[in-house]
Structure 1
Amino acid sequence: MDLSTALPAERRAATATERQFWFAERIAPGSPAWRVLSTVRIEGAPDREVLATAAARVVARHPALRSVFAPADGELWCATVPPVAPPLLELPPGTSFDAAARELADSGLLDPATGRHVVLALAEDTGDVPGATLYVLTHHLVYDGLSHEVFTADLAQAHARVVAGEPEPAPLADRVPQPPDAARRAELSAHWRTVLAGVPDLPGDSDGPTQRELARSEPHAHVVRFPGQAGVAVREAARRLACPPFAVLLTAYAQALYDLCGAEDFCIGTPVSTRAPDLADAIGCLLTTLPVRIRMPAEADACERTWTTFTDGLFHMDLPQDDLIRAVRTRPGRRMPLYQALFAYESWPRPVHDAGTVRMRTEPVTPLGIQAEVLLQVNELPGHRLDGMLQAPAGGYWAGRLAQLSEAVGRRLALLTTTTEEIAR
C-alpha cells in the first residue's frame, strides 16, 4: 500500500482491526491471507449490465468499500473517497473457486490504497438450468464473513431496484466500534495478563514460522467430512451440556490437537464479531480474534470449561488486539503470539434474496491464505449439515498431520455427542 496517500480533510482514526490488516499488508504485500474471496449463487440468468450497476450502487452505499488509509502524526487514519464502480470480469462457464481465485489474483485490479476494494467475476453454470456464481474479491481491511451477507442482501435489493428503475437510498454513515477509554483499557489489560499468564505455545516448529512467513506460505488443505447427522448430534449434545454447538466443536478441535501433540495448556484463536445492533447492516472488518485458553482438554468437563472460558473472554473482548498482545506477551519468540491454532465457525442463516429477475444467496467463505499454523473451519449448512476444512502451511509442522487431525476431530466429536446411555449400551 502507498504510504504517501493523501487523505481528505474529514477523516477518523482507524480501528484496531483495520490497523491490524493494514500493517499485515505492509508485512506481506499482496498475500492471499489478507484477501477475501466469497461467492454468491445466482438462480436465474443474470444480466451483466444490471449486475454491474447494482454492484456499483452497493459500493457507493457503504463507506468501507470506498475508504483509504494512510499514517500521519503517529496514527493510522481512514477517510472515504468517491466510489469507484467495481470491475466485473467474465469467467468461463463452470469456473471453480480455485480457478477464479487464480484469475482474480492475476488481474491486479484490487487496490486498497486507492479505495478499490471490490473486484467481481461471473461464471455461468454449465447445466440446462439458468444460474451462475458471482465471485467477490475484497480485502480484510474492509470485509469479513458477515459483511458478505450484508453485501449480498444489498446487492439483491439494488439489483431489484435497477430492474424496476428505482433510485438507491442515501449512502450509509461511516460507523465503527468505539475503543475503550483509558480506565477500561487498563482494566482489560490486567484481566488478560491474569487469564493468559504463562500460557505456552502449541507444540510445533520451535523457531517459527513468523507471521510474515505464514502469510507467504502455500496453503495445504484437507477436507473434513462429517457424517450426515453430525450437525444434529452436535446440537443435541450442546443442549445436554448447556452450551452452544460452537463450544462442542471447539472442544473437539482442542482435544484433537491434544491427541496429536500432547499439549495440555495452549490457546486457540477464534474470530468473534464486534457488531453492535447499530452495525448489523454495515460492511467492514468488524471482528476480533479472541484467544481461548485450553487447559486439560482430555478431561470429562472440558466442554463446559471451554465454554466458560470463552464467555469470560466475550466480556473482555473490547481490548484492541495489539494492546492485548502487548499486555500479555512476556517472552521473545518468532512464532505468532498467544495462539498458533485458529478455529472459525460459520453458522449464520443464509437466506435466499429476491433480486427481481434472479435470486441470490451466499455460500461459506473459504480462506485464501494462511493466517495461523493450523486452522479448522466448520460451516453449518441448511438442515444442520456440517462441512469443514483443515488448513496449514505446506511443508510446516501440521501439513503432514492434517489427515490424522481430521480423524481425531471426528473421533473426539463422536465421543462428545454420545450420551451416557449410548455408551452403556
Structure 2
Amino acid sequence: MPGDGDLAEINVVDVAWRDATPAQQGIWVLDTDEKLRPTYLIPTVLEFTGALRHDLLVAAAQSAVSRHPALRSRFRLDTATRRVQYHTDGPPGEIGFIDAVADGWSAEELDGLVDVLCWTPFDLATEAQVRGEVVRVDETTTLLVLTMHHISFDGWSRHLLVDEVMSTYRCLLEGREPRLSPAAHPADLVTVLSGQELAERVDEAVERLRGAPTTIGLPYDRRSATPSVIGANLALELDAELSGAVLEVASQEGCTPFMTAVALLAGTFSRTTGQRDFLFALGWPGREDPATADAIGMFMSTLVLRVEFDDTTTWRELLACARSGALEAFMDCDVPLDAIATALNPGRQVIWPPMTPVLVNVDDLPLELDLAPGVTGRYRLTGPVYTKYDLDLFVRVDDHGPDGSRLTLSIDYPLDLFDHQTIEGLLSALRRSAHDLAYSAEESHDRPADH
C-alpha cells in the first residue's frame, strides 16, 4: 500500500468485481451511459463578493487539489480480469483563471462556461478527477468553480477541500506558509472485513431488514420504463415557531434533525398509503475512524435504515422508532450495502438504488463563507438537478439569531415521475405532520389533527 503522498507506486486494487463496493460498481456502469453520468460528478460553485487577489485564490486552489493523492487518481477497469487498476502518480488537475470582464464575456456565456465546467465527464483512466477555474465576473464578484468525480471524492471531502482553499488563501494573503497536516492516501485508511467477519455482519444486517418491503407507495404521476435522472427541487421552510416546537419534541427523544425527518416522512407516507414498514437510504460519511476525519477521498457509503410501527404509534413513539432504526443502520456502516442487498435477494440484477426508492439526507452546506476581511462567499446552487432515487428528502436547520432556528425540508425528484403540484402536495402533507408532531406528540400519527 502506498504511504502518505507516495506518488511513485502503482496500486492495483486486488478486489474481484463482485466484491467491489456499490459505488465502485455503479460508477463504472453509469459512466458508460451519457444520461446517467452526471450523477457521479460533484460540482462546487463558490461565489465570492469583495475585492480579492485572484492570483492567490488560483494558487490556493491549485495547492489544495495538487496535495491530495485521491484527487490525482486514475482508474481503469481490466475487462478480462474484472479488476480495477488504480494509481495516484499522475499529474494533478489544473486550476485556471478567466477574466470575464477583460475578455468581454456575456452573462449567457458565463452560465454556459459554468455548466461545461460542472457537468463535462472525466476520463477516469487518463484524467485527474478534479478541474477548476477562478472566474472574475465583475469588479466585486468572483467564482471558484471546482468539479470532482464521486469515485475519489465525497461530500465530507468537499467541506475539507473548501476549508483548505480558504485557509491557504488567507495565509498567502498574509505572506505566511500554510500549516497543513500531511495529506493521507485513502488506500492507507481503508479497512476491509475478513471473509468470516463480513459474513457474520451481513447475516446480522439481513436479519434486521428481512421482511421489510423494498417499495413505497409514492404518489407517482407516471412511471417510465427508462427513467431519467433529470430532476427538480422544491423546498419548504417551517416558520420559527413551528420549527422550534418540532425540534423541542425531537430533542426530548434524543433525535437529530435527520431522525426527525425520517419520522416525518414515514408518518406522512403511512397516512396516505397505510404502509407501516419502510426502508430509507442515507449517505453515511464513513469517518468513524479519527484517521479519516481530515482525509480527502471517497469514504462515503450508503446505509439503509428500517422504520417499523403500527397504526397506534404516536408521533413521540415514531420519533423513537426512527432513532432506533438510524442507530441500528449506523452499526452496519462498515458492511457493504451490495452484500446485504444480494443476501436479501440473491437473484437480483445489479441496479441502483438496490433496496428502496427513497433517500433521506442532511443538507449541511454553510450559508456564508468568510474568505478574508471584506470578502464573503456562498455556495451558488444553480444548474440542473440530478437524482438517482425516486425521491430525495433533505433536511437542514439554520440559526436565524433572535428569530430562532428554522427547519427546512426539501425534495429532489425526477421530472419524468412527478409533477410540480404533486411534490408541493407532499411538502404540504409533511408540514401538517410536523405540526401534529409538535403539538399532538402523544396522539396517534394516523389521526391528523384539525389545523
Alignment partner, residue 3 of structure 2: none
How far apart in 2 are the matches of 1:98 and 1:324?
A: 42
Task: Specify which of 36, 45, 70 is matched with residue 39 of structure 1.
Answer: 45
The two structures have a TM-score, normalised by structure 2, of 0.78
How far apart in 2 are the matches of 1:342 and 1:252?
A: 14
How far apart in 2 are the matches of 1:417 and 1:229?
A: 10
TM-aligned CA deviation for residue 117 of structure 1: 2.4
The two structures have a TM-score, normalised by structure 1, of 0.82
Task: Specify which of 157, 171, 180 is matched with residue 161 of structure 1.
Answer: 171
How far apart in 1 are the matches of 2:367 and 2:195?
A: 39
Closer, same or farther: CA 302–99 of 1 in aligned 2, 3 Å = farther
How far apart in 2 are the matches of 1:8 and 1:398?
A: 52
Corresponding residue SS for 1:114: coil
Q: Deviations over 1:251-290 (max 9, x none)?
A: 1122223334443223111111101211111222221111
More deviation in 38-47 or 338-347?
38-47
Superposition pairs of residues 14-29 of structure 1, within 5 angstroms: 16=21, 18-29=23-34
Aligned-residue CA RMSD (Å): 3.8
More deviation in 405-414 or 352-361?
352-361
Larger Rg: 2
Indicate yes or no: 2:325 matched with 1:329: no
Task: Specify which of 283, 296, 317 is matched with residue 271 of structure 1.
Answer: 283
Alignment partner, residue 256 of structure 2: 244
How far apart in 2 are the matches of 1:306 and 1:18?
A: 26
Alignment partner, residue 304 of structure 1: 320
Alignment partner, residue 76 of structure 1: 84
Q: Deviations over 1:101-140 (max 9, x none)?
A: 634356x3744432332233556677x9x44443322222
Alignment partner, residue 64 of structure 2: 58
Aligned letter for 2:415? A
Aligned letter for 2:201? L
Contact 2:229–2:388 (CA<8 Å) still a contact in 1?
Answer: no
Superposition pairs of residues 145-294 of structure 1, within 5 angstroms: 145-167=155-177, 172-175=183-186, 176-200=189-213, 201-203=215-217, 213-214=226-227, 216-275=228-287, 276-294=289-307
Alignment partner, residue 387 of structure 1: 408
How far apart in 2 are the matches of 1:345 and 1:291?
A: 15
Alignment partner, residue 370 of structure 1: 387
Corresponding residue SS for 1:269: strand
Report sequence identity in percent: 20
TM-aligned CA deviation for residue 150 of structure 1: 0.5
Q: Deviations over 1:27-52 (max 9, x none)?
A: 53462211122233434223322222
How far apart in 1 are the matches of 2:161 and 2:328?
A: 31
Point out where structure 2 has 5 or more consecutive residues left out of the alignment.
1-6, 444-448
Corresponding residue SS for 1:11: strand
Contact 2:205–2:340 (CA<8 Å) still a contact in 1?
Answer: yes
More deviation in 309-318 or 229-238?
229-238
Q: Deviations over 1:297-356 (max 9, x none)?
A: 762121101110110111112111222221222565778321100111134777845557
- Number of matched residues? 413
Q: Deviations over 1:160-212 (max 9, x none)?
A: 2333454565851203431212222111110122122132212357x9768xx
Closer, same or farther: CA 9–346 of 1 in aligned 2, 3 Å = same
Alignment partner, residue 85 of structure 1: 94
More deviation in 178-187 or 42-51?
42-51
How far apart in 1 are the matches of 2:427 and 2:93?
A: 43
More deviation in 139-148 or 164-173?
164-173
Corresponding residue SS for 1:51: helix
Contact 2:77–2:85 (CA<8 Å) still a contact in 1?
Answer: yes
Alignment partner, residue 406 of structure 1: 427
More deviation in 274-283 or 388-397?
388-397
Contact 1:163–1:356 (CA<8 Å) still a contact in 2?
Answer: no
Alignment partner, residue 3 of structure 1: none
Alignment partner, residue 313 of structure 1: 329
Closer, same or farther: CA 297–421 of 1 in aligned 2, 3 Å = closer
How far apart in 2 are the matches of 1:18 and 1:308?
A: 26
Contact 1:93–1:124 (CA<8 Å) still a contact in 2?
Answer: no
How far apart in 2 are the matches of 1:98 and 1:411?
A: 38
How far apart in 1 are the matches of 2:111 and 2:431?
A: 26
Closer, same or farther: CA 165–111 of 1 in aligned 2, 3 Å = farther
More deviation in 21-30 or 275-284?
21-30
TM-aligned CA deviation for residue 418 of structure 1: 2.1
TM-aligned CA deviation for residue 360 of structure 1: 4.9
